[in-house]
Amino acid sequence: MTTIKSGQGNSLYGVIKEIFNWYPSSYPIAERKLLFKLDLSILIFACLCFFVKFLDQTNISNAYVSGLKEDFGLYGNELNYFNVCYYVAYVVFQIPGMLLMSRPKLARWLLPTLEVLWGICTFAQSRVTNVHQLYACRFLIGMLEAPVFAGTHFILGSWYSGPELFKRAGTWFICNPLGSMISGYLQAAAYTNLSGVGGMPGWRWLFIIDGIFTLPIALAGFLVFPGIPDSPKPFYFTEGDIALAKSRLERFKIRKPGKLNLDVFRRTLQRWHIWVFVFCYICMIISGYPESYMNLWLKEEGFSVVQINQLPTVTYAVNIVASWLGTTLAAIFPSWTVYTGATTCIAFSSICMIIWDIPKPLKFIAWYLFGMSGCRSPILYSTVNTVVKGDSEERALILGSMMTFGYSFQIWAPLLLFPTAGPNGAPRWRIGWPVALTFHILLWAGFITAILLHRRE
């Protein structure tokens, strides 16, 4: 969406300088101070909130390969069913949560409240005695976490714009793979050091540890999270800060929230934005599903429990770098070039998985290159915030719809394309990998289409 400033040229020094240029010298001192306050409040809380969200979301997979499967006798598609329960709730409560997030009086308190509640449910998972209780816990956590991802993108797009937005969205998104990566290390540590403590296996301790992380962050959110510019003023903002923030919205042509009525749905459905962006996210969800299941391949290959939990963290490390650096570069260079580069790496990995019978070192490389997908989601969502900044309700509805319709495919598509057991089951996925490659290409095509349509406007 943006290009490097002509004064910097295309020199390496100019690119590096722009990557770390979070507080441009061209901004007045008051505006740079405001950005710093926003980063300390929104960005730090959002990062911690997103970190524990993915810690709590992905711990089920780590628990499954660390004793849960054997303790509960789960030798069918129960892992898929855990995800189905989570994503059914995630889908159903997505749009209502996003529309609530667009209301100024609720925006400041909604995320911290939901985080307290899902933290309690995370603790509850450590005490389940049968698989049905675990299904119920996964449903509740999916319901409570529903507006966090798209809601944070909405909040970021309500305060930041342009390169500011892309850089912060990329930095925030690294907490996705960071949470998944640390979950692996936590499970390995829990399995090694806590198995048998208090009469509980290590996988139960993982849920307890995750809950201990979650609740303090949630409580801190009630103090520091500012919501949107029209929300009740937190203690660390002055009246001048709020006035400056609102003037920035006018300068960036970001419309503040208006009335929430049926006209929001009418005007949104009449524009191309929702159709193209929802299609892109559906493609992203379907194509990205198998990338996080390297642990199933490692288990099949006979690696130890500790190795099964630790080796996949390299993918998350690649994902972290790609998320931060890729999204930042998309604020400097045309975003389609970054998207094309990431898609090329992922297509190569997908082809390796389709062939399957390749040298083991190459297969490790292929699994790790899937981490390049880290930049695609924050670039896509930052593009939505940029393209639809002139209509706050439409923006909220699109962000919520992307999650709703995208994850509605997460409910049933894995059961058909990526079953846990059977001749086409994990991790070989004879049908799933070719389908994933197809949707990787369709995602790239959809993103390019959105860029071209926006330029035509």
Tens-level pLDDT at each residue, the chain (457 residues) = 544 443 444 588 888 888 999 999 999 999 999 999 999 999 889 888 888 887 777 778 878 888 888 989 888 888 888 988 998 898 999 999 998 998 899 999 999 999 999 999 999 999 999 999 999 999 999 999 999 989 999 999 999 998 999 999 999 988 878 877 777 777 678 778 888 888 889 889 888 988 888 899 999 999 999 999 999 999 999 999 999 999 998 998 888 787 778 888 999 999 999 999 999 999 999 999 999 889 889 988 999 988 988 899 899 899 999 999 999 999 999 999 999 999 999 999 999 999 999 999 999 999 999 999 999 999 999 999 999 998 888 999 999 999 999 988 988 888 889 988 888 888 999 999 999 999 999 999 999 999 999 999 8
Cβ–Cβ under 8 Å, residues 143 and 92: yes
- Per DSSP, the three-state class of 129 is coil
SS3 content of the chain, % helix, strand, coil (to 5): 80, 0, 20
Q: Choose among 452, 393, 100: nearest CA to 254.
A: 393
Which residue type occupies 434?
A: P
Q: How far is Cα 204 from Cα 195, in angstroms, rounded to an integer?
A: 9
pLDDT of residue 188: 76
Cβ–Cβ under 8 Å, residues 444 and 339: yes
pLDDT of residue 415: 83
pTM metric for this prediction: 0.84
pLDDT of residue 78: 86
For 282-318, b/e burial (b = at least 16 CB within 10 A) is bbbbbbbbbbbbbbbbbbeeeeebbebbbbbbebbbb
Cβ–Cβ under 8 Å, residues 297 and 65: no
pLDDT of residue 41: 93
CA 181 to chain centre: 14
Q: How far is Cα 28 from Cα 33, in angstroms, rounded to an integer?
A: 9
Q: How far is Cα 155 from Cα 160, in angstroms, rounded to an integer?
A: 9
Cβ partners under 8 Å of residue 143, min gap 6: 89, 90, 92, 93
Cβ partners under 8 Å of residue 425, min gap 6: 419
pLDDT of residue 2: 46
pLDDT of residue 344: 98
pLDDT of residue 241: 95
pLDDT of residue 6: 39
